[in-house]
Amino acid sequence: MDFDLPEEMRLLQNTLRRFVDGELIPLEGRSLDGQKLKPEIESHLVARARELGLWLIDLPEEYGGQGLGLLARAVVWSELGRTTALPTRHVPILGPDIRPVMYFLSDEMKERYLYPTVRGERRSCFAQTEPDAGSDPGSMRTTAVRDGADYVVNGVKRFITGADEADYMLLMAATDRSKGSRGGISCFILDMDTPGVRLAGFHETMTGEHPWEIVLDNVRIPATHLIGEEGGGFALGQKWLGIGRVKQGARALGVTRRCLELAATYARQRVTFGRPLAERQSVQWPLVDSYVALEAAELLVYRTALKFDRGLDVRHDAFTVKLYCTEMAWRAAEMCLQVHGGIGLTTDLPVERLWRDQRSHLITEGAPEIMRMVLARHVLNQFGS
């Protein structure tokens, strides 16, 4: 067994680390407007990311991307996770957000939606969550009922990121509510300017994001806009959410590393009662706990990514990664804030941003309780007799 990253990944990692240290960290505190990159900074960073070979690393080569393996992408996400200069969710400097469900579109629909999105001419949002269905999307109330050549959709979607700027949404709707997530949810592509689609308002959040509420009132979607099979939407979604969980885990590695760097540096400098904080055992131990967790988490993330690249099933690994790494990074952010005292609460340092952002990742894309719920079934089956 070789636990080291392959040579080319280590080169990638070094390049990214220099980019983050030299060009992104100096922008912290002034690159974002809420959670969006300021336009002039975004265009500069996009150009730099292209130069560094980071553009469209997620997208398969057949669609014009680089089709990097998950291990290489995990290295990138981990390094970028060290900085608060970028938005905490979608990182636009790597290219437009293209959800893998789009690869299941027909050729004609790819021409209309996928390729223009790759070229940056059209934008999408993903609409699954509802006021009464977040962690449990199988209970969603938005229905899509077949009527001739169309589906008629009624319902409300909540917390939809980027709905105000999107040209179309990837919509999850129930085609058979009695089946829920076991064959009752379908995925559609829906233009935002379709009659009956209305943005009803947005929520301000502690991270500076403002996800939208969308009302769907007797919206007619042509049946040709169904992606994959009727009832197959949930299964399609799970395919890419698995990758998303590894991404979350990799990002959390970077957050934890940065929190360790900030906390260890401050602890060595800050003197209280005549001694540096770094000499106090109560300060040392949480630092050590973060370090030990990071060492373990790195192996977990990289092993999962490698298994995925080898075509193996990583469903449970991806849940384990999301659970372990996001909780680890949250504890590290909490430790980092505590070590810094009052200055950590100010916006002069990136500490409070790391803390706020990481807290939000314990709720979105699958809360720890949901990861534990799913893994409990796996553990009971695997270890119970």
Ligand X SMILES: Cc1cc2nc3c(=O)[nH]c(=O)nc-3n(C[C@H](O)[C@H](O)[C@H](O)COP(=O)(O)OP(=O)(O)OC[C@H]3O[C@@H](n4cnc5c(N)ncnc54)[C@H](O)[C@@H]3O)c2cc1C
Regarding 364 and contact with ligand X (CB under 6 A), the answer is yes
Considering the complex, state which of residue 294 and residue 328 has its C-beta at the smaller distance from ligand X: 328
Using CB under 6 A, count the residues that bind ligand X. Answer: 19
**Residue among 46, 70, 72, 160 that touches ligand X (CB under 6 A):** 160
Least distance from ligand X to the Cβ atom of residue 177, Å:
18
Regarding 369 and contact with ligand X (CB under 6 A), the answer is yes
Instruction: Name the nearest CA neighbour of 97 among 165, 175, 179.
Output: 165
DSSP string over 111-156: IIIIHHHHTTSS-EEEE--BTTBSS-GGG---EEEEETTEEEEEEE
Regarding 124 and contact with ligand X (CB under 6 A), the answer is no
Burial class (CB in 10 A: 0-12, 13-18, 19+), 101: buried
**Residue among 25, 52, 367, 375 that touches ligand X (CB under 6 A):** 367
Least distance from ligand X to the Cβ atom of residue 113, Å:
17
Least distance from ligand X to the Cβ atom of residue 382, Å:
21
Regarding 211 and contact with ligand X (CB under 6 A), the answer is yes
The set of residues, in sequence order, having a beta carbon less than 8 Å from that of 307 and lying 6+ positions away, is 314, 317
Active site residues: 365
Regarding 299 and contact with ligand X (CB under 6 A), the answer is no
Which stretches of the chain are assigned E, i.e. beta strand? 32-33, 36-37, 124-127, 143-147, 150-160, 168-174, 185-191, 197-202, 212-222, 226-227, 271-272, 275-276
Give the interface segment with ligand X, choosing from 14-22, 110-118, 124-132, 286-294 (CB under 6 A).
Answer: 124-132
CA 301 – CA 312 distance, rounded (Å):
14
Considering the complex, state which of residue 79 and residue 130 has its C-beta at the smaller distance from ligand X: 130
**Residue among 363, 376, 378, 379 that touches ligand X (CB under 6 A):** 363
CA 73 – CA 23 distance, rounded (Å):
20
**Residue among 37, 45, 127, 226 that touches ligand X (CB under 6 A):** 127
**Residue among 19, 113, 126, 188 that touches ligand X (CB under 6 A):** 126
**Residue among 11, 373, 376, 379 that touches ligand X (CB under 6 A):** 373
Regarding 192 and contact with ligand X (CB under 6 A), the answer is no
**Residue among 84, 128, 256, 358 that touches ligand X (CB under 6 A):** 128
CA 14 – CA 21 distance, rounded (Å):
10
Least distance from ligand X to the Cβ atom of residue 159, Å:
4
**In the window 12-31, what residues touch ligand X (CB under 6 A)?**
none
CA 59 – CA 99 distance, rounded (Å):
9
**Residue among 135, 265, 269, 346 that touches ligand X (CB under 6 A):** 135
Q: Is 226 helix (H, G, I), strand (E, B) or coil?
A: strand
- Residue 8 neighbours by CB distance under 10 Å: 10
Amino acid at 359: R
Report the interface residues with ligand X, using CB under 6 A: 126-129, 134-136, 159-161, 205, 209, 211, 363-364, 367, 369-370, 373
